[in-house]
A and B are shown apart, each in its own frame.
Chain A
Amino acid sequence: GENVEQHPSTLSVQEGDSAVIKCTYSDSASNYFPWYKQELGKGPQLIIDIRSNVGEKKDQRIAVTLNKTAKHFSLHITETQPEDSAVYFCAASRGRGSQGNLIFGKGTKLSVKP
């Protein structure tokens, strides 16, 4: 089955710097890759997602890149702000039904220092 590895587990940056979180997946048939942000005491919220027919997607300060050959995808946050501090999860899935179930990485705790 699919396995998703996420690095680093913790990341600390200064406000205004960029942050990059990387994930690798094992199933070459995976075709959907969302990223979630989880604030303390809350459920994860989708911040951006990418499908396998696209190599890069951007939404304001957030971008995701996908390298299908290497089976890895990355989240890029530019001009970080203190409110970006949270735990970020990557995930991967393929197909319909049970094959569409998302497999999550173990999360990255991002701290943005003012």
Chain B
Amino acid sequence: DGGITQSPKYLFRKEGQNVTLSCEQNLNHDAMYWYRQDPGQGLRLIYYSQIVNDFQKGDIAEGYSVSREKKESFPLTVTSAQKNPTAFYLCASRGGRLGGYNSPLHFGNGTRLTVT
């Protein structure tokens, strides 16, 4: 089955540590996205990539970093500079040329990160 796999589902870290969230897709989509979801805040865009070896900051990129070395993979690193890292993180992909003009997003099932 085609889809997006996020791992792990739950992740716990100590404050001050960097942590990397995995996202893999087998939909052959060019564009991939990372969103952060907090209660009552909807989905906020962290980073996105429309093609391999290229990515752009979204609305809340501070304290995060990404890489896009392969079409299938778009890992997100939550660094110690992120002031409030505890959240639900969603990865998504989008088909169509250069990330989608009017194409829907396909989401993974998320990773819940807790930092104490």
Contact = CB atoms under 8 A, between A and B. Distances in A.
Interface residues of B, number: 27
B107 A43 contact: yes
B104 A89 contact: no
A104 B43 contact: yes
B109 A34 contact: no
Contact of B90 (A32, A44, A93, A106): A44
A76 to B, nearest CB: 19
Interface stretch (B65-73, B76-84, B93-101): B93-101
A61 interface: no
Nearest to A102: B105
Given A104-B42, A105-B42, A97 B98 contact: yes
A98 B42 contact: no
B109 A43 contact: yes
Interface residues of A, number: 27
B40 A9 contact: yes
A101 interface: yes
B39 to A, nearest CB: 9
Contacts of A98: 48, 56
Nearest to A103: B45
7 contacts: A34-B105, A44-B107, A93-B102, A96-B99, A104-B42, A106-B40, A106-B41
Given A6-B42, A44-B107, A100-B102, 18 more contacts: A32-B102, A36-B105, A41-B110, A42-B109, A42-B110, A43-B107, A43-B108, A43-B110, A49-B104, A51-B102, A89-B42, A96-B101, A97-B50, A98-B48, A100-B99, A101-B33, A102-B105, A106-B40
Interface of B: 4, 6, 33, 40-45, 48, 50, 56, 58, 90, 92, 98-102, 104-110
